[in-house]
Structure 1
Amino acid sequence: MSLTLYFHPLSGFCQKVMVALYENETPFTPQLVDFGDATQREDFLKLWPIGKFPLLRDDRLGKLVPETSVIIEHLALHYPGKLALLPGDPVAALEVRRLDRLFDLYVAIPMQKVVLDRLRAEGSHDPAGVAEAKATLVSAYDVLEAEIGGRQWAAGDDFSLADCSAAPALFYGERALSFRESHPRLWAYFDRLRTRPSYARALSEAEPYFHFFPRGEGDAGLSR
Protein backbone atom coordinates (compact mmCIF):
# COMPACT_ATOMS: atom_id res chain seq x y z
CA MET A 1 0.00 0.00 0.00
CA SER A 2 1.59 3.26 -1.12
CA LEU A 3 -0.03 5.64 1.40
CA THR A 4 0.87 5.74 5.09
CA LEU A 5 -0.76 8.21 7.48
CA TYR A 6 1.14 9.13 10.63
CA PHE A 7 -1.53 10.28 13.08
CA HIS A 8 -3.26 10.00 16.43
CA PRO A 9 -7.02 9.29 16.51
CA LEU A 10 -7.74 11.91 19.20
CA SER A 11 -6.31 14.77 17.14
CA GLY A 12 -8.94 16.85 15.37
CA PHE A 13 -6.56 17.70 12.55
CA CYS A 14 -5.86 14.00 12.04
CA GLN A 15 -9.60 13.29 12.04
CA LYS A 16 -9.99 15.87 9.28
CA VAL A 17 -7.73 13.85 6.96
CA MET A 18 -9.26 10.54 8.04
CA VAL A 19 -12.70 11.82 7.03
CA ALA A 20 -11.37 12.57 3.55
CA LEU A 21 -9.78 9.11 3.31
CA TYR A 22 -12.93 7.35 4.54
CA GLU A 23 -15.23 9.37 2.25
CA ASN A 24 -13.48 7.96 -0.80
CA GLU A 25 -12.50 4.61 0.73
CA THR A 26 -8.89 5.43 -0.14
CA PRO A 27 -6.58 2.56 0.88
CA PHE A 28 -3.92 3.60 3.37
CA THR A 29 -1.83 2.23 6.21
CA PRO A 30 -2.56 3.93 9.54
CA GLN A 31 0.56 4.54 11.63
CA LEU A 32 -0.40 5.73 15.11
CA VAL A 33 2.21 8.01 16.70
CA ASP A 34 2.33 8.26 20.49
CA PHE A 35 4.31 11.39 21.39
CA GLY A 36 4.46 10.10 24.95
CA ASP A 37 6.76 7.35 23.71
CA ALA A 38 10.27 8.79 23.30
CA THR A 39 11.23 6.34 20.54
CA GLN A 40 8.10 6.98 18.49
CA ARG A 41 8.51 10.72 18.90
CA GLU A 42 12.16 10.59 17.81
CA ASP A 43 11.34 8.44 14.78
CA PHE A 44 8.59 10.82 13.73
CA LEU A 45 10.83 13.87 14.10
CA LYS A 46 13.33 12.24 11.77
CA LEU A 47 10.61 12.21 9.13
CA TRP A 48 9.17 15.64 9.87
CA PRO A 49 11.25 17.86 12.17
CA ILE A 50 8.36 20.29 12.63
CA GLY A 51 6.81 17.54 14.76
CA LYS A 52 3.15 18.09 13.81
CA PHE A 53 0.81 15.41 12.58
CA PRO A 54 -0.90 14.23 10.49
CA LEU A 55 1.80 13.46 7.95
CA LEU A 56 1.16 11.49 4.77
CA ARG A 57 3.90 9.35 3.22
CA ASP A 58 3.28 8.59 -0.43
CA ASP A 59 5.69 5.82 -1.44
CA ARG A 60 4.46 5.71 -5.05
CA LEU A 61 5.39 9.35 -5.61
CA GLY A 62 8.25 9.40 -3.11
CA LYS A 63 6.75 12.30 -1.16
CA LEU A 64 6.10 13.29 2.45
CA VAL A 65 3.04 15.53 2.60
CA PRO A 66 2.36 17.60 5.75
CA GLU A 67 -0.57 19.90 6.64
CA THR A 68 -4.17 18.73 6.53
CA SER A 69 -5.55 20.78 3.66
CA VAL A 70 -2.50 20.04 1.52
CA ILE A 71 -2.82 16.32 2.26
CA ILE A 72 -6.47 16.32 1.18
CA GLU A 73 -5.65 18.24 -2.00
CA HIS A 74 -2.80 15.80 -2.68
CA LEU A 75 -5.25 12.92 -2.37
CA ALA A 76 -7.75 14.66 -4.64
CA LEU A 77 -5.08 15.24 -7.27
CA HIS A 78 -3.27 11.89 -7.22
CA TYR A 79 -5.86 9.47 -5.73
CA PRO A 80 -9.26 10.80 -6.80
CA GLY A 81 -12.30 8.90 -5.60
CA LYS A 82 -16.04 8.93 -6.15
CA LEU A 83 -16.44 12.18 -4.19
CA ALA A 84 -14.66 15.33 -5.33
CA LEU A 85 -13.85 17.14 -2.09
CA LEU A 86 -12.81 20.18 -4.12
CA PRO A 87 -15.09 21.44 -6.90
CA GLY A 88 -13.71 21.49 -10.41
CA ASP A 89 -14.85 25.08 -10.86
CA PRO A 90 -12.03 27.32 -9.53
CA VAL A 91 -14.42 29.93 -8.09
CA ALA A 92 -16.37 27.29 -6.17
CA ALA A 93 -13.08 25.66 -5.08
CA LEU A 94 -11.86 29.00 -3.70
CA GLU A 95 -15.01 29.27 -1.57
CA VAL A 96 -14.42 25.77 -0.19
CA ARG A 97 -10.83 26.70 0.66
CA ARG A 98 -12.02 29.89 2.39
CA LEU A 99 -14.40 27.93 4.61
CA ASP A 100 -11.71 25.34 5.29
CA ARG A 101 -9.41 28.11 6.55
CA LEU A 102 -12.22 29.58 8.65
CA PHE A 103 -12.79 26.29 10.49
CA ASP A 104 -9.07 25.62 10.98
CA LEU A 105 -7.93 29.10 11.99
CA TYR A 106 -10.92 30.49 13.86
CA VAL A 107 -12.48 27.40 15.43
CA ALA A 108 -9.82 24.68 15.74
CA ILE A 109 -6.89 26.92 16.74
CA PRO A 110 -8.67 29.01 19.43
CA MET A 111 -10.30 25.82 20.70
CA GLN A 112 -6.83 24.39 21.28
CA LYS A 113 -5.88 27.51 23.27
CA VAL A 114 -8.85 27.03 25.59
CA VAL A 115 -8.35 23.29 26.00
CA LEU A 116 -4.56 23.33 26.44
CA ASP A 117 -4.89 25.97 29.15
CA ARG A 118 -6.67 23.32 31.21
CA LEU A 119 -3.43 21.34 31.25
CA ARG A 120 -1.37 24.20 32.68
CA ALA A 121 -0.15 23.94 36.25
CA GLU A 122 -1.95 25.98 38.88
CA GLY A 123 -0.64 29.53 38.79
CA SER A 124 0.42 29.37 35.14
CA HIS A 125 -2.96 29.73 33.46
CA ASP A 126 -3.51 32.42 30.84
CA PRO A 127 -6.98 33.85 31.51
CA ALA A 128 -6.49 36.75 29.10
CA GLY A 129 -5.44 34.39 26.30
CA VAL A 130 -8.37 32.07 27.01
CA ALA A 131 -10.81 35.00 26.99
CA GLU A 132 -9.41 36.16 23.66
CA ALA A 133 -9.69 32.63 22.22
CA LYS A 134 -13.30 32.34 23.39
CA ALA A 135 -14.12 35.71 21.83
CA THR A 136 -12.69 34.43 18.53
CA LEU A 137 -14.84 31.30 18.83
CA VAL A 138 -17.97 33.39 19.38
CA SER A 139 -17.16 35.51 16.33
CA ALA A 140 -16.57 32.39 14.24
CA TYR A 141 -19.79 30.80 15.45
CA ASP A 142 -21.68 33.99 14.53
CA VAL A 143 -20.20 34.03 11.03
CA LEU A 144 -20.94 30.34 10.51
CA GLU A 145 -24.48 30.64 11.86
CA ALA A 146 -25.18 33.36 9.30
CA GLU A 147 -23.28 31.83 6.36
CA ILE A 148 -23.92 28.10 6.42
CA GLY A 149 -26.82 27.63 8.79
CA GLY A 150 -29.31 27.18 5.98
CA ARG A 151 -27.18 24.88 3.81
CA GLN A 152 -26.96 21.11 3.79
CA TRP A 153 -23.17 21.22 3.90
CA ALA A 154 -20.67 24.03 4.43
CA ALA A 155 -20.42 25.19 0.82
CA GLY A 156 -23.82 24.01 -0.42
CA ASP A 157 -25.33 20.70 -1.45
CA ASP A 158 -22.08 18.74 -1.76
CA PHE A 159 -19.83 17.45 1.03
CA SER A 160 -16.37 18.97 0.63
CA LEU A 161 -12.98 19.72 2.13
CA ALA A 162 -14.67 22.40 4.24
CA ASP A 163 -16.85 19.76 5.92
CA CYS A 164 -13.82 17.58 6.62
CA SER A 165 -12.46 20.59 8.54
CA ALA A 166 -15.74 21.47 10.19
CA ALA A 167 -16.54 18.11 11.78
CA PRO A 168 -13.63 17.83 14.25
CA ALA A 169 -13.34 21.61 14.72
CA LEU A 170 -16.96 21.87 15.85
CA PHE A 171 -16.85 18.63 17.86
CA TYR A 172 -13.98 19.92 20.00
CA GLY A 173 -15.14 23.54 19.77
CA GLU A 174 -18.33 22.54 21.54
CA ARG A 175 -16.18 21.24 24.42
CA ALA A 176 -14.25 24.51 24.59
CA LEU A 177 -17.23 26.86 24.28
CA SER A 178 -20.67 25.41 23.63
CA PHE A 179 -22.77 26.65 20.71
CA ARG A 180 -25.60 24.12 21.19
CA GLU A 181 -28.11 26.65 22.54
CA SER A 182 -26.68 29.90 21.21
CA HIS A 183 -26.34 28.98 17.51
CA PRO A 184 -29.17 26.58 16.57
CA ARG A 185 -28.57 26.51 12.81
CA LEU A 186 -24.88 25.82 13.29
CA TRP A 187 -25.78 23.07 15.77
CA ALA A 188 -28.16 21.49 13.24
CA TYR A 189 -25.33 21.49 10.67
CA PHE A 190 -22.95 19.92 13.20
CA ASP A 191 -25.57 17.29 14.01
CA ARG A 192 -25.53 16.26 10.35
CA LEU A 193 -21.74 16.19 10.38
CA ARG A 194 -21.34 13.96 13.41
CA THR A 195 -23.68 11.32 11.97
CA ARG A 196 -21.94 11.31 8.57
CA PRO A 197 -20.49 7.76 8.33
CA SER A 198 -16.95 8.96 7.60
CA TYR A 199 -16.83 11.18 10.69
CA ALA A 200 -18.75 8.74 12.85
CA ARG A 201 -16.03 6.21 12.04
CA ALA A 202 -13.24 8.65 12.94
CA LEU A 203 -14.98 9.47 16.22
CA SER A 204 -15.45 5.79 17.02
CA GLU A 205 -11.71 5.25 16.57
CA ALA A 206 -10.96 8.23 18.83
CA GLU A 207 -13.32 7.13 21.58
CA PRO A 208 -10.85 4.88 23.44
CA TYR A 209 -8.66 7.98 23.93
CA PHE A 210 -11.38 10.39 25.08
CA HIS A 211 -10.24 10.11 28.69
CA PHE A 212 -7.05 11.97 27.75
CA PHE A 213 -9.03 15.06 26.74
CA PRO A 214 -8.73 17.68 29.51
CA ARG A 215 -12.04 18.60 31.10
CA GLY A 216 -13.15 22.11 31.95
CA GLU A 217 -14.98 23.20 35.04
CA GLY A 218 -18.37 21.50 35.08
CA ASP A 219 -17.46 19.55 31.93
CA ALA A 220 -18.55 15.92 31.84
CA GLY A 221 -15.86 15.14 29.27
CA LEU A 222 -16.09 13.93 25.71
CA SER A 223 -18.98 11.94 24.36
CA ARG A 224 -20.23 11.29 20.88
Structure 2
Amino acid sequence: MITLHHLNNSRSQRIIWLLEELGLDYDIKRYQRNAKTMLAPPELRAVHPLGKSPVITDGDLTLAESGAIIDYLIERYGAGRLAPPAGTPARLRYSYWLHYAEGSAMTPLLLKLVFDTVEKSPMPFFVKPIAKGIAAKVRQSYIEPQIRQHLDYLEMELGKSGWFAGDAFSGADVQLSFPLEAAAARGGLDESRPRLMDFLRRIHARPAYQRALERGGDYSVM
Protein backbone atom coordinates (compact mmCIF):
# COMPACT_ATOMS: atom_id res chain seq x y z
CA MET A 1 0.00 0.00 0.00
CA ILE A 2 1.25 3.46 -0.92
CA THR A 3 1.36 5.94 1.95
CA LEU A 4 1.66 9.64 1.25
CA HIS A 5 3.12 11.71 4.06
CA HIS A 6 1.09 14.84 3.51
CA LEU A 7 1.96 18.27 4.90
CA ASN A 8 -0.90 20.74 4.82
CA ASN A 9 -0.66 23.50 2.20
CA SER A 10 2.32 21.96 0.44
CA ARG A 11 3.53 20.35 -2.76
CA SER A 12 2.20 17.01 -1.53
CA GLN A 13 -1.28 18.09 -2.62
CA ARG A 14 -0.32 17.49 -6.24
CA ILE A 15 0.77 13.93 -5.36
CA ILE A 16 -2.71 13.26 -3.97
CA TRP A 17 -4.02 14.55 -7.29
CA LEU A 18 -1.74 12.21 -9.26
CA LEU A 19 -2.77 9.24 -7.14
CA GLU A 20 -6.39 10.07 -7.91
CA GLU A 21 -5.65 10.43 -11.63
CA LEU A 22 -4.07 6.97 -11.58
CA GLY A 23 -6.95 5.50 -9.57
CA LEU A 24 -4.63 3.98 -6.97
CA ASP A 25 -5.39 2.88 -3.44
CA TYR A 26 -3.36 4.86 -0.94
CA ASP A 27 -3.26 6.07 2.63
CA ILE A 28 -2.55 9.61 3.80
CA LYS A 29 -0.57 10.34 6.94
CA ARG A 30 -1.13 13.99 7.82
CA TYR A 31 1.27 16.53 9.28
CA GLN A 32 0.55 20.12 10.27
CA ARG A 33 2.84 23.08 9.86
CA ASN A 34 3.94 24.99 12.93
CA ALA A 35 1.42 27.83 13.18
CA LYS A 36 4.15 30.37 13.99
CA THR A 37 7.04 29.35 11.75
CA MET A 38 4.99 27.56 9.04
CA LEU A 39 7.68 24.87 9.00
CA ALA A 40 7.03 21.14 8.85
CA PRO A 41 6.94 19.32 12.19
CA PRO A 42 9.99 17.31 13.30
CA GLU A 43 8.00 14.07 12.97
CA LEU A 44 8.58 14.18 9.22
CA ARG A 45 12.31 13.63 9.83
CA ALA A 46 11.46 10.17 11.10
CA VAL A 47 10.23 9.41 7.58
CA HIS A 48 12.94 11.20 5.60
CA PRO A 49 16.04 12.96 7.01
CA LEU A 50 15.20 16.29 5.35
CA GLY A 51 11.80 16.41 7.03
CA LYS A 52 10.09 17.66 3.88
CA SER A 53 6.89 16.81 2.06
CA PRO A 54 5.93 15.12 -0.17
CA VAL A 55 7.32 11.76 0.80
CA ILE A 56 5.80 8.44 -0.14
CA THR A 57 6.42 4.98 1.20
CA ASP A 58 5.59 1.97 -0.95
CA GLY A 59 6.63 -1.29 0.66
CA ASP A 60 10.30 -0.93 1.56
CA LEU A 61 10.72 2.17 -0.62
CA THR A 62 10.81 5.68 0.81
CA LEU A 63 10.93 8.40 -1.82
CA ALA A 64 11.00 12.19 -1.60
CA GLU A 65 10.96 15.00 -4.21
CA SER A 66 7.84 15.64 -6.28
CA GLY A 67 9.45 14.97 -9.65
CA ALA A 68 10.95 11.66 -8.55
CA ILE A 69 7.66 10.60 -6.98
CA ILE A 70 5.70 11.47 -10.12
CA ASP A 71 8.19 9.57 -12.27
CA TYR A 72 8.04 6.53 -10.00
CA LEU A 73 4.25 6.36 -9.71
CA ILE A 74 3.66 6.76 -13.43
CA GLU A 75 6.39 4.30 -14.41
CA ARG A 76 5.28 1.65 -11.92
CA TYR A 77 1.52 2.09 -11.94
CA GLY A 78 0.65 4.17 -14.98
CA ALA A 79 0.34 1.29 -17.48
CA GLY A 80 1.20 3.68 -20.29
CA ARG A 81 -0.89 6.56 -18.96
CA LEU A 82 0.18 10.11 -18.13
CA ALA A 83 3.59 10.00 -19.83
CA PRO A 84 4.57 9.97 -23.53
CA PRO A 85 6.28 6.84 -24.86
CA ALA A 86 9.95 6.44 -23.96
CA GLY A 87 12.43 7.52 -26.63
CA THR A 88 10.13 10.07 -28.24
CA PRO A 89 10.61 13.86 -28.47
CA ALA A 90 7.46 14.23 -26.38
CA ARG A 91 9.03 12.14 -23.60
CA LEU A 92 12.09 14.38 -23.57
CA ARG A 93 9.84 17.44 -23.33
CA TYR A 94 7.93 15.73 -20.53
CA SER A 95 11.16 15.06 -18.59
CA TYR A 96 12.27 18.64 -19.13
CA TRP A 97 9.12 20.03 -17.52
CA LEU A 98 9.41 17.65 -14.55
CA HIS A 99 12.83 19.13 -13.77
CA TYR A 100 12.06 22.71 -14.80
CA ALA A 101 9.11 23.11 -12.43
CA GLU A 102 11.22 22.88 -9.27
CA GLY A 103 14.67 23.57 -10.70
CA SER A 104 13.81 26.88 -12.39
CA ALA A 105 10.22 28.03 -12.02
CA MET A 106 9.94 27.78 -8.23
CA THR A 107 13.20 29.58 -7.41
CA PRO A 108 12.05 33.19 -7.89
CA LEU A 109 8.65 32.40 -6.36
CA LEU A 110 10.35 31.07 -3.23
CA LEU A 111 12.63 34.09 -3.11
CA LYS A 112 9.61 36.36 -3.31
CA LEU A 113 7.99 34.53 -0.41
CA VAL A 114 11.18 34.87 1.66
CA PHE A 115 11.65 38.57 0.97
CA ASP A 116 7.96 39.32 1.50
CA THR A 117 8.28 37.60 4.88
CA VAL A 118 11.37 39.63 5.76
CA GLU A 119 9.46 42.85 5.13
CA LYS A 120 6.57 41.78 7.35
CA SER A 121 8.62 40.26 10.17
CA PRO A 122 8.89 42.10 13.49
CA MET A 123 12.25 43.81 14.01
CA PRO A 124 13.71 46.81 15.84
CA PHE A 125 12.29 50.08 14.47
CA PHE A 126 15.75 51.40 13.52
CA VAL A 127 16.47 48.30 11.40
CA LYS A 128 13.08 48.05 9.69
CA PRO A 129 13.59 50.80 7.05
CA ILE A 130 16.93 49.28 6.02
CA ALA A 131 15.56 45.73 5.82
CA LYS A 132 12.48 46.86 3.91
CA GLY A 133 14.62 48.87 1.50
CA ILE A 134 16.92 45.95 0.77
CA ALA A 135 13.98 43.56 0.32
CA ALA A 136 12.20 45.96 -2.02
CA LYS A 137 15.35 46.48 -4.08
CA VAL A 138 15.98 42.76 -4.50
CA ARG A 139 12.34 42.15 -5.45
CA GLN A 140 12.22 44.94 -8.01
CA SER A 141 15.62 44.37 -9.58
CA TYR A 142 15.76 40.59 -9.65
CA ILE A 143 12.86 38.56 -8.28
CA GLU A 144 9.90 40.15 -10.05
CA PRO A 145 11.64 40.38 -13.47
CA GLN A 146 12.58 36.70 -13.13
CA ILE A 147 9.00 35.70 -12.35
CA ARG A 148 7.72 37.68 -15.34
CA GLN A 149 10.32 36.06 -17.61
CA HIS A 150 9.30 32.56 -16.53
CA LEU A 151 5.59 33.29 -16.88
CA ASP A 152 6.12 34.72 -20.36
CA TYR A 153 8.10 31.62 -21.30
CA LEU A 154 5.44 29.25 -19.95
CA GLU A 155 2.68 31.17 -21.71
CA MET A 156 4.57 30.87 -24.99
CA GLU A 157 5.35 27.18 -24.53
CA LEU A 158 1.77 26.29 -23.69
CA GLY A 159 0.78 27.77 -27.03
CA LYS A 160 2.57 24.89 -28.79
CA SER A 161 0.16 22.16 -27.65
CA GLY A 162 -2.88 21.52 -25.52
CA TRP A 163 -0.79 20.50 -22.50
CA PHE A 164 2.82 21.09 -21.55
CA ALA A 165 4.24 17.80 -22.85
CA GLY A 166 1.94 17.52 -25.86
CA ASP A 167 -1.71 17.15 -26.71
CA ALA A 168 -2.41 14.74 -23.85
CA PHE A 169 -2.55 15.57 -20.15
CA SER A 170 0.49 14.14 -18.33
CA GLY A 171 2.48 14.08 -15.12
CA ALA A 172 4.30 17.17 -16.36
CA ASP A 173 1.07 19.13 -15.95
CA VAL A 174 0.70 17.80 -12.42
CA GLN A 175 4.25 18.91 -11.63
CA LEU A 176 3.77 22.39 -13.10
CA SER A 177 0.51 22.94 -11.25
CA PHE A 178 2.19 24.04 -8.03
CA PRO A 179 4.42 26.83 -9.40
CA LEU A 180 1.55 28.13 -11.51
CA GLU A 181 -0.85 28.11 -8.58
CA ALA A 182 1.82 29.86 -6.52
CA ALA A 183 2.29 32.42 -9.28
CA ALA A 184 -1.46 33.07 -9.38
CA ALA A 185 -1.54 33.44 -5.59
CA ARG A 186 1.47 35.70 -5.09
CA GLY A 187 3.48 36.08 -8.31
CA GLY A 188 1.34 38.26 -10.54
CA LEU A 189 -0.15 35.59 -12.81
CA ASP A 190 -3.48 36.88 -14.09
CA GLU A 191 -5.63 37.09 -17.22
CA SER A 192 -2.87 38.94 -19.07
CA ARG A 193 -1.53 35.42 -19.70
CA PRO A 194 -4.69 33.69 -20.90
CA ARG A 195 -3.15 30.30 -21.74
CA LEU A 196 -1.78 29.84 -18.25
CA MET A 197 -5.03 30.95 -16.63
CA ASP A 198 -6.94 28.56 -18.88
CA PHE A 199 -4.53 25.80 -17.85
CA LEU A 200 -5.36 26.42 -14.20
CA ARG A 201 -9.08 26.41 -14.89
CA ARG A 202 -8.80 23.14 -16.80
CA ILE A 203 -6.82 21.32 -14.11
CA HIS A 204 -9.07 22.61 -11.34
CA ALA A 205 -12.08 21.26 -13.21
CA ARG A 206 -10.69 17.72 -13.49
CA PRO A 207 -12.64 15.22 -11.36
CA ALA A 208 -9.40 13.76 -9.95
CA TYR A 209 -8.28 17.23 -8.85
CA GLN A 210 -11.60 17.73 -7.08
CA ARG A 211 -11.32 14.34 -5.38
CA ALA A 212 -7.78 15.23 -4.28
CA LEU A 213 -9.09 18.36 -2.58
CA GLU A 214 -11.64 16.25 -0.72
CA ARG A 215 -8.96 13.78 0.40
CA GLY A 216 -6.30 16.36 1.19
CA GLY A 217 -8.45 18.90 3.02
CA ASP A 218 -8.19 22.67 2.94
CA TYR A 219 -5.45 23.80 0.57
CA SER A 220 -3.77 27.12 -0.07
CA VAL A 221 -0.44 27.59 -1.79
CA MET A 222 2.47 28.46 0.50
Greater RCO (CA < 8 Å, at least 6 residues apart): 2
Does residue 157 in structure 1 map to residue 148 in structure 2? no
Q: Distance in 2 between matches of 1:203 and 1:138?
A: 29
**Unmatched 5+ stretches in structure 2:** 123-127
Q: Distance in 2 between matches of 1:206 and 1:110?
A: 27
Deviates more, 1:24-33 or 1:111-120: 111-120
Aligned to 2:201: 191
Q: Distance in 1 between matches of 2:97 and 2:49?
A: 29
Q: CA deviation at 1:113?
A: 2.3
The TM-score with structure 1 as length reference comes to 0.79
Does residue 141 in structure 1 map to residue 158 in structure 2? no
Aligned to 2:86: 89
Alignment of 1:1-224 (within 5 A): 2-11=1-10, 13-36=11-34, 41-59=41-59, 62-81=60-79, 84-91=81-88, 92-120=90-118, 121-122=121-122, 123=128, 124=131, 126-131=135-140, 132-203=142-213, 208-210=218-220
Q: Which runs of 4+ in 1 moved over 6 A?
A: none
Report the identity percentage. 23
Q: CA deviation at 1:209?
A: 5.0
Match for 1:200: what amino acid? Q
Greater gyration radius: 2
Q: CA deviation at 1:143?
A: 0.9
Q: CA deviation at 1:67?
A: 0.6
Q: CA deviation at 1:164?
A: 0.2
| Aligned alpha-carbon RMSD (Å) | 2.5
1:29–1:21 Cα change, 3 Å: same
Match for 2:6: what amino acid? F
Q: CA deviation at 1:205?
A: 5.5
Deviations 1:90-122 (A, max 9, x none): 232221011222332333332222234333314
Match for 2:48: what amino acid? W
Q: How many residues align?
A: 205
Q: Distance in 2 between matches of 1:141 and 1:153?
A: 15
CA contact (8 A) 2:8 2:33 kept: no
**Unmatched 5+ stretches in structure 1:** 215-224
1:119–1:205 Cα change, 3 Å: farther
Q: CA deviation at 1:173?
A: 0.8
CA contact (8 A) 2:155 2:196 kept: yes
